[in-house]
Structure 1
Amino acid sequence: METDWVSRLADEVIAEAERRAPGKPVVCASGLSPSGPIHLGNLREVMVPHLVADEIKRRGVPCTHLVSWDDYDRFRRVPAGVPGVDESWQEHIGRPLTSVPPPAGSPYASWAEHFKAPLTAALDAMGIEVRGISQTEQYNSGAYREQILFAMRERRRIDAVLERYRTKGKTSQEAAVDASEDEAERAAAEGSGAAAEDDGGAGSAGYYPYKPYCGVCGRDTTTVTAYDDETTELRFVCDCGHEESVKLSEFNRGKLVWKVDWPMRWAYEGVVFEPAGVDHHSPGSSWVVGGQLVSEIFGGLQPIGPMYAFVGISGMAKMSSSQGGVPIPAEALEIMEAPLLRWLYARRRPNQAFKIAFDGEIQRTYDEFDALARRVAAGTAQPADAAAHSRAVRTASGELPATERPLPYRMLASVLDITTGDEEQTLRILSEVDPEHPVLSLAEVRPRLDKAARWVETRLPAEQRTWVRREPDADLLASLDDEQRASLRLLLEGLDSHWSLDGLTTLLYGVPKVRAGLPPDAKPTPELKAAQRGFFALLYRLLIGTETGPRLPTLLLAVGAERVRGLLGG
């Protein structure tokens, strides 16, 4: 039987974990830098390990999913488009993210906490269980003290590994191209967990893989000038003019540079599975170099894990937290249910790029998801599709909350567009969709109804809103020919007996057929399709003054039979 990508990876991870550490829980990991809005591209950093870890748990194998918050990284740039932030935040560049004040008006204590909070809430809403690790807490508590002292003792060997990948010997033009590409990658990956591709670099006093934060200005604009392996005395100077001498065996105000920090943590946590974005897989990147450092220096093994591709937004360029204005998971969950968002990540292999629709395409996405749910219920879905659906609607811990009556999203959006959210009118319309099984309470169609309402309110362009005519278009009605009048009369005569979504669909498509002397269930021909298009365009013009609009059966239900009659000259 065909297996899905999650099952295949889970097979590999379980086998690898058993080979490395028999009997111990499997460790899957993600890394995120709360340096700005953690967007839907960054979410893939969490979703890929989550889906694999959840499959492992479903099989009864103990598994932990770590999310490492790189909140002790330096504040690199002031991201664009963040409310409550201005150029005055420039003064904090170089300080740890947990030491930078949050945007003005934020209830959180720091920059890092401000951007961690909405993602943490979104993960909870999506049923994603993780163990969060704050790197600020890890470093400040001295948890990595032995690893830091070891890395400093082995600094020459670390430097030799890094030297293999430095741009030594390149022309100035090649180095400039590399630098611009690195900057683009950093911008694209901001928040992805690869804080920066720093390796520490060798200064006049030699190479040191450790970067202290200044005790006066709090920045990492420091340079190590000397280190004694025996006494662990570390001397450094800061660009602000401060000089300091500390014992590294007792000092906690600093961290390993990124290219050394990441492989150190792989060994420390025993990570078996961790994916990485495309920005990490170029020659000399932290993933490539880290694989050598973890095995040659730290005595561990690099995690297995695929490279994952970018996630885009319909109508937007590639996402970058540093550029601002990119949707975060919490915003996606305002307009779509958690199972749908989970499904978008579960159905695509990690190396497949995909887009998430915030525009009108969201309606088609929901149609696809609902169609899959029907195939799953009927037992006709392909195995991989059924697996993706299962991963969307439930986790090893249980089912995610679902809408009791999942009416089509596009219908709900159309109704809400016309009623402008009036709950009484909305319930009246939805109760008439299927008179044999009427919706008796809006609670039956929530939370999907609320998601559609939010989409209409925030994402539907004003020029696409539907405005039903207040008065009949007398001039248009007076200009109709005999065939158009007869078609309208036939429609009006059938309204009462067809007043449901299915009934109105049959009636609307049947009118041109009956006028052509055919039965209502006749197969469409090119001529019939042309007649239907003309008839529908006429109805749109009479009802809402445009040539197109929401699906006509939904529109008629929303307008109501009495008002339809008035606008169609009945």
Structure 2
Amino acid sequence: MHWIDRVARALLKRGKKHVIASGISISGHIHVGHSNDVFIADGIRRAVEESGGKATALWYADDYDPMRRIPWPLNQGEHAERYRKYLGMPYIDIPSPDPEYENFVEYFSKSFVDSLRDFGVKVKVYSGAKIYRSGKMSRLVKTALENAGEIRKILNRYRSTPLPDDWLPYDAICEKCGKIATTKAFAWDGSVVKYRCEGCDYAPGCGHEGESDYTNGEGKLTWRVEWPARWKLLGVTCEPFGKDHAVAGGSYDTGRSIAKRIFNYDAPYPVPYEWVSFRGDRMSSSRGVVFTLPQWLEIAEPELLRYFIFRSKSMKAKDFDPGLPLLDLYDEFDMIEQVYFDRRDVAEPKRKKQYKRIYELSLVGPPPIRPVQRLPFRFAAVLCQVTQDEQHAIEIMTSKGILAKPSGRDIRLALIRLRRARNWVSKYAPERLRFRVLKEVPVEAVRRLTEKQKEGLARLADDLSSRDYTPVELHNRIYEIGKSIELKPSELFKAVYLALLGRESGPRVGNFVSVLDREFVIGRFRDAVNL
């Protein structure tokens, strides 16, 4: 059973109706590493509904949080000095660097939210700022203030330095400087909280002493109290969250105690997950180590990101690299799709069942009724460099057996993948996979060919003139020719590249030669042999 289904089963034992929460602080560009919780929430929603329950997934924008660091790219050049004054202010109150967007929050979150539908993610979106300013949190803020002493005891169990006796679980927005991170609440009466703007380790205070009306959203609960209050407000029954919150004494532990003892609410079923790294480096909005959903859609299908998340357990480390490893991701997805339609055998029935479930969770919609013919991405990455004409590309795909009697859907999906391959080649492909076939024989390069290499090219030219090969068949045939003349296959590959590209390396030979005009290739090989 897939781990998503185990979570759904556990939830349904608790009841038939569920709210699965996710969310993120809008601290900069929202990247694929942030996608973990919202994609997992959506996957759980699906599984609950498939098992007969009712479920809603939500995504909560923590846009009332303070800006602790200036995010990339605003920490560069003239922007850096301009945005320094906004440190400590709520994200929602910070202006956008682009007048096309209403504010800082919309600038950094809109493309993410707008892209969720493309990935088949069905969630209800909430804004923390709107919830506070609407007064919906007022009753819970009051409850927290009334029980500040009890909350302090809960938190102090996990602190090396106890909170002071006058501590209150409330962060006021300074009415003078607009900062929320710099204030300290010290007293309250009715709906008013008194505070001093004292400063914090990353933003100076202005020294103002004032009052904040929490019923008007002039402040917010501190994080460790706000989280359980939010569970109560929205009726959350399950929530995926980063592993840092799951450590002993972390936000979830304290939140569970506060939810039960202060808000009389059972904590949601926890689903902790591991971080997603980018080429071995932790993704970071502030440092600009990001890869966004729109960037993903430029080079890969939305199903691949879902597959990337659901192919392994939530706590397994995941690393994304848009370079060569993306090709493996494409291959894996195409493989499990073939398994789903019983077009590829898997020895272990249990593994086969697992693959089929991963495939279902990876899809943006219901599974297709008929098997899908896919254009292999490795082949697409070569084909897109040979022709810009899509009709010509279709002719190559069909003539080489890549697509057999394709349906309109097969062709549409193939062309979409071809366009993404073109983007991938231009932005992320290593140099050795980028090429330009030379119009004339590269004389200097060809003169480096050995007699054995020339013999191999001559045999290959004869074979190509006698029959058609699929890319895989051609790749294997080159191996066979090399062995038959006691030449290492790698040396024959080099000969092919030297004759066509004037260099010793290039894309996978079978794909590369297959996309070229056969008569051109035969002529080039023979010219190289006879030079």
2:503 partner SS: coil
Q: Which residue of structure 2 lines up, in the alignment, with residue 223 of structure 1?
A: 184
Cα deviation code 1:121-152 (max 9, x no counterpart): 22111111001111111000000111111111
Q: Which residue of structure 2 lines up, in the alignment, with residue 236 of structure 1?
A: 195
| 1:381-400 matched pairs, under 5 angstroms | 381=346, 382-395=352-365, 398-399=366-367
| 1:254-403 matched pairs, under 5 angstroms | 254-313=219-278, 315-378=279-342, 380-381=345-346, 382-395=352-365, 398-399=366-367
| 1:401-440 matched pairs, under 5 angstroms | 405-419=373-387, 421=388, 423=390, 426-434=393-401, 437=404
In structure 1, give the amino acid aligned to 2:36. Answer: R
Conservation of the 8 A alpha-carbon contact between 1:472 and 1:566: no
Q: How far does residue 501 in structure 1 lie from its aligned partner after superposition?
A: 2.3
Conservation of the 8 A alpha-carbon contact between 1:335 and 1:454: yes
Q: Which residue of structure 1 lines up, in the alignment, with residue 89 of structure 2?
A: 95
Q: Equivalents in 2 of 1:478, 1:119: separation in Å?
A: 54
Q: Equivalents in 2 of 1:34, 1:401: separation in Å?
A: 40
Q: Which residue of structure 2 lines up, in the alignment, with residue 459 of structure 1?
A: 428
Q: How far does residue 490 in structure 1 lie from its aligned partner after superposition?
A: 2.2
Q: How far does residue 435 in structure 1 lie from its aligned partner after superposition?
A: 8.5
1:29 paired to 2:29? no
Q: Equivalents in 2 of 1:87, 1:402: separation in Å?
A: 57
Q: How far does residue 159 in structure 1 lie from its aligned partner after superposition?
A: 1.0
Q: Equivalents in 2 of 1:440, 1:5: separation in Å?
A: 35
Q: Equivalents in 1 of 2:305, 2:124: separation in Å?
A: 21
Q: How far does residue 209 in structure 1 lie from its aligned partner after superposition?
A: 0.7
2:30 partner SS: coil
Q: Which residue of structure 1 lines up, in the alignment, with residue 200 of structure 2?
A: none
Q: Equivalents in 2 of 1:423, 1:339: separation in Å?
A: 23
1:414 partner SS: helix
Higher RCO (C-alpha 8 Å, min separation 6):
1
In structure 2, give the amino acid aligned to 1:362. Answer: L
1:65 paired to 2:57? yes
Q: How far does residue 436 in structure 1 lie from its aligned partner after superposition?
A: 8.5
Aligned CA distance change for structure 1 residues 261 and 246 (closer, same or farther; 3 Å): closer
Cα deviation code 1:444-490 (max 9, x no counterpart): 51321122111111112446421322321335545655544433222
Q: Equivalents in 1 of 2:248, 2:51: separation in Å?
A: 36
Q: How far does residue 498 in structure 1 lie from its aligned partner after superposition?
A: 2.9
Q: Equivalents in 1 of 2:380, 2:369: separation in Å?
A: 19
In structure 1, give the amino acid aligned to 2:259. Answer: V
Unaligned runs of 5+ in 2: 198-204, 347-351
Q: Equivalents in 2 of 1:74, 1:478: separation in Å?
A: 66
Q: Which residue of structure 1 lines up, in the alignment, with residue 130 of structure 2?
A: 137
Cα deviation code 1:165-215 (max 9, x no counterpart): 12228xxxxxxxxxxxxxxxxxxxxxxxxxxxxxxx537xx1111111122
TM-score, normalised with respect to structure 1: 0.82
Q: Equivalents in 2 of 1:467, 1:61: separation in Å?
A: 56
1:434 partner SS: coil
Aligned CA distance change for structure 1 residues 91 and 437 (closer, same or farther; 3 Å): same
Aligned CA distance change for structure 1 residues 269 and 479 (closer, same or farther; 3 Å): closer
Cα deviation code 1:390-447 (max 9, x no counterpart): 111254xx3589996411101101122344x454654453343228937799635132
1:149 partner SS: helix
Conservation of the 8 A alpha-carbon contact between 2:397 and 2:403: no
Aligned CA distance change for structure 1 residues 462 and 509 (closer, same or farther; 3 Å): closer
Aligned CA distance change for structure 1 residues 536 and 508 (closer, same or farther; 3 Å): same
Q: Equivalents in 1 of 2:521, 2:281: separation in Å?
A: 42
Conservation of the 8 A alpha-carbon contact between 1:403 and 1:447: no
1:446 partner SS: helix
Q: Equivalents in 2 of 1:211, 1:424: separation in Å?
A: 62
2:255 partner SS: helix
1:541 paired to 2:498? yes
Q: Equivalents in 2 of 1:48, 1:145: separation in Å?
A: 30
| Identity across matched positions, percent | 28
Residue 166 (structure 1) aligned to one of 154, 159, 162 = 159
2:265 partner SS: coil
Aligned CA distance change for structure 1 residues 159 and 259 (closer, same or farther; 3 Å): same
Unaligned runs of 5+ in 1: 170-200, 517-526
2:36 partner SS: helix
Q: How far does residue 106 in structure 1 lie from its aligned partner after superposition?
A: 5.2
CA RMSD, 1 decimal: 2.7
Aligned CA distance change for structure 1 residues 448 and 165 (closer, same or farther; 3 Å): same
Residue 218 (structure 2) aligned to one of 234, 253, 261 = 253
Residue 416 (structure 2) aligned to one of 447, 470, 475 = 447
Aligned CA distance change for structure 1 residues 151 and 476 (closer, same or farther; 3 Å): closer
1:117 paired to 2:110? yes
Q: Equivalents in 2 of 1:436, 1:46: separation in Å?
A: 35
Q: Which residue of structure 2 lines up, in the alignment, with residue 176 of structure 1?
A: none
Q: Equivalents in 1 of 2:129, 2:4: separation in Å?
A: 32
Conservation of the 8 A alpha-carbon contact between 1:469 and 1:567: no
Aligned CA distance change for structure 1 residues 325 and 319 (closer, same or farther; 3 Å): closer
Aligned CA distance change for structure 1 residues 469 and 259 (closer, same or farther; 3 Å): same
Q: How far does residue 321 in structure 1 lie from its aligned partner after superposition?
A: 1.7
Q: Which residue of structure 2 lines up, in the alignment, with residue 489 of structure 1?
A: 458
1:54 partner SS: helix
Conservation of the 8 A alpha-carbon contact between 1:339 and 1:400: no
Q: How far does residue 222 in structure 1 lie from its aligned partner after superposition?
A: 2.1
Cα deviation code 1:319-364 (max 9, x no counterpart): 1222113112221222110111111111111111122230111112
Q: Equivalents in 2 of 1:273, 1:151: separation in Å?
A: 22
Aligned CA distance change for structure 1 residues 481 and 53 (closer, same or farther; 3 Å): closer
Question: Which segment drifts farther, 109-118 or 541-550?
Answer: 541-550
Q: Equivalents in 1 of 2:246, 2:325: separation in Å?
A: 32
Q: Which residue of structure 2 lines up, in the alignment, with residue 196 of structure 1?
A: none
In structure 2, give the amino acid aligned to 1:100. Answer: I
Aligned CA distance change for structure 1 residues 492 and 423 (closer, same or farther; 3 Å): same
Q: Equivalents in 2 of 1:135, 1:403: separation in Å?
A: 44
In structure 2, give the amino acid aligned to 1:324. Answer: G
Cα deviation code 1:35-62 (max 9, x no counterpart): 1111222111112221111111122311
1:472 paired to 2:441? yes
1:486 partner SS: helix
Aligned CA distance change for structure 1 residues 556 and 155 (closer, same or farther; 3 Å): same
Q: Equivalents in 1 of 2:447, 2:461: separation in Å?
A: 17
Residue 157 (structure 1) aligned to one of 139, 150, 157 = 150
2:195 partner SS: strand
